[in-house]
Structure 1
Amino acid sequence: MLRYLLIALIFVSPLSFAELSQDELQQVLEPRIEGLKFLTKNGMLLDAIRTQNREGRSLDEIKKIDEEWKAGKSPLIKELQENKAGSFLKNIIIQQADVYNEAFLTDIQGANVAAYPPTSDYWQGDEEKFTAAFNGGEGKIFIGKVEMDESTKTNAVQISVPMEYNDETIGVLVIGVKVSVLEAEKLKGQ
């Protein structure tokens, strides 16, 4: 039986997961989504977002940091991996490296609050993974397409969940799920 399972895994192409509809992806990822909903209640993560939101950075400041980040010159690259929220996300990724390839947390404007490993850019506010999940402040779960993640060089799908405080969306949590997990979940469901 194990032999057939391994053979089946070899012949399931990552491209076939790229062809799944959003509903099919959601069904395969449902156990992961439920776990992420639990994380959205974490007080330490919510406090980190609320603290950054209170700083009130302008979009111009965020874009300047974004340019420094992309050039590898921002001290925030290291700081956002080592702050409390970054360390928490790092532990999740390291402990579940067979499942997840990355995790990051944004503020209300889509600027990173914490990230592990570092994202390819600081500002997520112009990307669908943020805009769809933030949803104009209404918050909703968003599942991206299966694709090669630029920052981790891993085939994965990103799940974005709104972070809410007092029924208000204050940021977004994004976690990348490796394609190998999709393969295993899909086989379990057959």
Structure 2
Amino acid sequence: MAAIAQGPELVAAITAQNETTSGYDQAKIDALDTQWRAEVDASSKPLIDEVLANAASAYLLGVQEASEGLYTEIFAMDAKGLNVGQSTVTSDYWQGDEGKWQNTFLAGAGAVDIGDVEQDESTQIFQSQVSIPVLDDAGTPIGAITFGVNVEYL
């Protein structure tokens, strides 16, 4: 997982998004998250489509497909907890209020957050979310990444 988190495509995408989102206040973050949640069930999905079409999402989708069922989802977040790339659509855009981001990005190198095993409603697969920070070349956290791990695969 750590090697995947340090993929050059992912690090570059998070670094670029951090430059864009560094000035976002909580109102802007909340507005984007509200837009994302509305788009999940809508026919028009400009924000979701933009994220799914980027290089980071293509990289994460490739990793998920190559895992042969081990990973049920993979998504990466920036320094604000906003999605940068993802292999599948998440229910929300802002993860900054959740342990998967707070317990990894804020904790720094070596941090790991392991969620409870839960049954995914759509796939009926039992999975746990495992999250770690994404680091730059100096070892400084620039974001975080979450892997949905199919525990039935283990």
Q: Deviations over 1:71-105 (max 9, x none)?
A: 11652212212200001111122232421110000
Runs of at least 5 residues in structure 2 that lack an aligned partner in the other structure: none
Aligned to 2:17: 52
Q: 1:135 to 1:47 in 2, by over 3 A?
A: same
Instruction: Write out aligned runs for 1:122-141 (5 A).
Output: 122-137=93-108, 140-141=111-112
The count of corresponding residues between Structure 1 and Structure 2 is 147
TM-fit CA distance, 1:151? 7.2
One of 133, 137, 140 as aligned partner of 1:168: 140
Q: Deviations over 1:23-59 (max 9, x none)?
A: xxxxxxxxxxxxx111122121111111111112222
3-state DSSP class of the match of 2:106?
helix
3-state DSSP class of the match of 1:39?
helix
Runs of at least 5 residues in structure 1 that lack an aligned partner in the other structure: 1-35, 183-190
Looking at structure 1, the residues matched to 106 and 122 of structure 2 have their Cα atoms a distance apart, in angstroms, of 24
Which amino acid counterpart does residue 124 of structure 1 have in structure 2?
A: Q
Which amino acid counterpart does residue 148 of structure 1 have in structure 2?
A: Q
1:181 aligns with 2:148: no
Q: Identity of counterpart residues, as a percentage?
A: 36
Looking at structure 2, the residues matched to 62 and 102 of structure 1 have their Cα atoms a distance apart, in angstroms, of 23
One of 32, 37, 47 as aligned partner of 1:65: 32
Instruction: Write out aligned runs for 1:1-190 (5 A).
Output: 36-55=1-20, 56=22, 57-72=24-39, 74-137=45-108, 140-149=111-120, 154-165=125-136, 166-182=138-154
TM-score, reference length from structure 1: 0.71
3-state DSSP class of the match of 2:104?
helix
Q: 1:97 to 1:171 in 2, by over 3 A?
A: same
Looking at structure 2, the residues matched to 89 and 44 of structure 1 have their Cα atoms a distance apart, in angstroms, of 10
Looking at structure 1, the residues matched to 122 and 14 of structure 2 have their Cα atoms a distance apart, in angstroms, of 22
Retained in 2: the 8 A contact 1:139–1:169? Answer: no
Looking at structure 1, the residues matched to 99 and 121 of structure 2 have their Cα atoms a distance apart, in angstroms, of 15
TM-fit CA distance, 1:134? 1.5
Q: 1:127 to 1:153 in 2, by over 3 A?
A: farther
Over the aligned positions, Cα root-mean-square deviation in angstroms equals: 1.9
Q: 1:86 to 1:107 in 2, by over 3 A?
A: same
Retained in 2: the 8 A contact 1:157–1:177? Answer: yes
TM-score, reference length from structure 2: 0.86
3-state DSSP class of the match of 1:176?
strand
Q: Between Structure 1 and Structure 2, whose CA radius of gyration is higher? A: 1
Q: 1:152 to 1:50 in 2, by over 3 A?
A: farther
